[in-house]
Amino acid sequence: MDGILGQKLEAYLRAKLPQVEQLSVSKLWRIPGGASRETWAFDALWQEGGKQTSHGFILRRDPDASVLETERDLEFRVMEAVWSQGVPVPKMHWLEQDGAWLDRPFFVMDRIDGCETSPQRLLMEPRYVRVQQAIARQFTQILARIHALDWKALGLDFLGVPPGPAGCAEMELAKWQAIVDREALEPQPVLRAAFAWLRRHPPRPAQGVVLVHADYRTGNFLVDEQGEIKGVLDWEMAHLGDPLEDIAWACIRPWRWAGDERVGGLMTRDEFYRAYSELTGLEIDDESLRFWEVLGNVKLAAIFLTGGRSFCEGRTASVMMALLGRNTGRLELEIMDLMEV
Partner 1 sequence: MSAILPELQTQFAQDATQTMQMLLESLIGEWDAAAENLQADDRRLRELLASARGAILSARSPGERLESLAREIEDGLAVPAAGSLLVSALSEENRSLRALLELVLVACEEMGGESGPLGPVRSETYAHLREIAGRGWSFWDVMSFRERMARFRAG
Confirm or reject binding of residue 18 to partner 1 (CB under 8 A).
no
Q: Which residues in the 99-138 window bind partner 1 by CB under 8 A?
A: 119-120, 123-124
Question: Rounded to 5 degrees, what are φ and ψ at 226?
Answer: -85, 0
Q: Which stretch binds partner 1 (CB under 8 A): 45-53, 96-104, 275-283, 315-323?
A: 315-323
Confirm or reject binding of residue 314 to partner 1 (CB under 8 A).
no
CA distance 133 to 228: 11
Could you give the C-alpha distances from 17 to 58, 68, 330, in angstroms and in order?
Answer: 16, 32, 49
Confirm or reject binding of residue 3 to partner 1 (CB under 8 A).
no
Confirm or reject binding of residue 323 to partner 1 (CB under 8 A).
yes
Q: How far is the CB of 124 from partner 1 (least distance, A)?
A: 6
Q: How far is the CB of 185 from partner 1 (least distance, A)?
A: 10
CA distance 308 to 208: 35
Q: What does the DSSP assignment read for 143-204?
A: HHHHHHS-TTTTTGGGG---SSGGGHHHHHHHHHHHHHHHH-SS--HHHHHHHHHHHHSPPP
Which CB, 66 or 207, lies closer to partner 1? Answer: 66
Q: Which residues in the 258-277 window bind partner 1 by CB under 8 A?
A: 258-260, 265
CA distance 323 to 304: 8
Q: How far is the CB of 38 from partner 1 (least distance, A)?
A: 9
Which CB, 1 or 333, lies closer to partner 1? Answer: 333
Q: Which residues in the 196-235 window bind partner 1 by CB under 8 A?
A: 196-197, 199-200
Confirm or reject binding of residue 254 to partner 1 (CB under 8 A).
yes
Taking CB atoms within 8 Å and a gap of at least 24, the contacts of 179-183 are: 179/68, 179/302, 179/305, 179/306, 180/298, 180/301, 180/302, 180/305, 183/302, 183/305, 183/306, 183/308, 183/309
Which CB, 193 or 279, lies closer to partner 1? Answer: 193
Q: Which spans of this chain sit near partner 1 (rule: CB under 8 A)?
A: 29-33, 119-120, 123-124, 186-190, 192-193, 195-197, 199-200, 254, 257-260, 265, 318-320, 322-323, 326-330, 332-333, 336, 341
